[in-house]
Amino acid sequence: MIDILAAVWLIARKDLAIEFRTRSAFLSAVVFALLGLVIFYYAWDPTAVSVTDLAPGVLWVIFTFSGLLGLHRSFGVETADHAIDGLLASPVSRHSIFLGKALANLIFVAAVQMIAIPALVVFYNLPLGDIAGPLIAIAVLAAIGLVAVGTLFSAMAVNTRLAELLLPMLALPFFVPIVTAAAQATSKLLSGRPVGEAGAWIKLLLAFDIVFVAACTLAYPFTVED
């Protein structure tokens, strides 16, 4: 039996290869993120709201919704000709399937972030300088939590008639604590406060990640049992 890490990477690599071939979800997510940035920019009144107050909210709203596009695709590729049956009938554990899917989604969301964060910095003329490192750490921690929850609900929603509607309805309430912590930590950094002041929010993000990754990995097998 192949070990768990090899199985996780095998499944993630397959999902990434499919996305690389089609690029459908990635292009949709990037276009959505960039359009969101532009719309928020033109709706923004700089005399009423400072950039440091606005940018964290814009950033995390865009990540959340563009990420959902990729999360929906995650189990969608398995339904076309019942490919999921091939995965479930193989000796690979259900936990490995979930973690492989989640890893592919994490790389997907990170790739969208790699385009969206620089675009945000340029659009809003943000003073990134010293805070680039901590901001990336917050982005990674938030992405792990969003992906864990989103991957589980993608598995639950994919076989329903209203999957595209059901996924955000199920996932968004669970995204709230992650997005709140990420936005608060980002706000502290952008307003020039010491990194230490964002520490409590970053620790909260880390705690959410541990809880959500563990809970979702354990819960996934129940979503595929008839």
Partner 1 sequence: MPVVEVRDLTRSFGPRKAIAGVSFSLAPGECLALFGPNGAGKTTLLRVLAGLLKPSSGTALVSGIALPAGADVRSRVGLISHHTMLYEALSPRENVAFAARLYSVKDVEKRVDDSLRLMSMHDRADAPLRSLSRGMQQRVSIARAMVHGPDLVLADEPYNGLDDSGARDLTALLGQLRASGAAIIIVTHNLPEGLSLATHAAVMQHGRFVRYDRRSSVDPGSYSAIYREALTGGD
With contacts defined by CB under 8 A, how many residues of the chain interact with partner 1? 25
Question: Does 81 help bind partner 1 (rule: CB under 8 A)?
Answer: yes
Least Cβ distance, residue 19 to partner 1 (angstroms): 8
Sites for partner 1 among residues 14-53 (CB under 8 A)? 14, 17-18, 21-22
- Segment interacting with partner 1 (CB under 8 A) among 52-60, 78-86, 115-123, 177-185: 78-86
CB closer to partner 1 out of 41 and 222: 222
Q: Which two tokens stand for residue 45?
A: 């009144």
Query: For the window 84-103, what string marks contact with partner 1 as x by the rule CB under 8 A?
Result: -xxxxxxxxx----------
116, 62 contact by CB (below 8 A): yes
56, 187 contact by CB (below 8 A): yes
Instruction: Pick one of 43, 48, 80, 162: the residue that binds partner 1 (CB under 8 A).
Output: 80
User: Own/partner pairs for 125-131, CB < 8 Å, 24+ apart?
Assistant: 125/51, 126/51, 126/55, 126/190, 127/190, 127/192, 131/189, 131/190, 131/195
Distance CA 171, CA 72 (A): 11
Query: For the window 187-226, what string marks contact with partner 1 as x by the rule CB under 8 A?
Result: --------------------------------------xx
CB closer to partner 1 out of 45 and 225: 225
End-to-end, the C-alpha distance of the chain in Å comes to 25
Residue 181 CA: distances (Å) to CA of 114, 143, 199, 216:
20, 12, 10, 20
Would you tell me which residues interact with partner 1 (CB under 8 A)?
1-2, 7, 10, 14, 17-18, 21-22, 77, 80-83, 85-93, 225-226
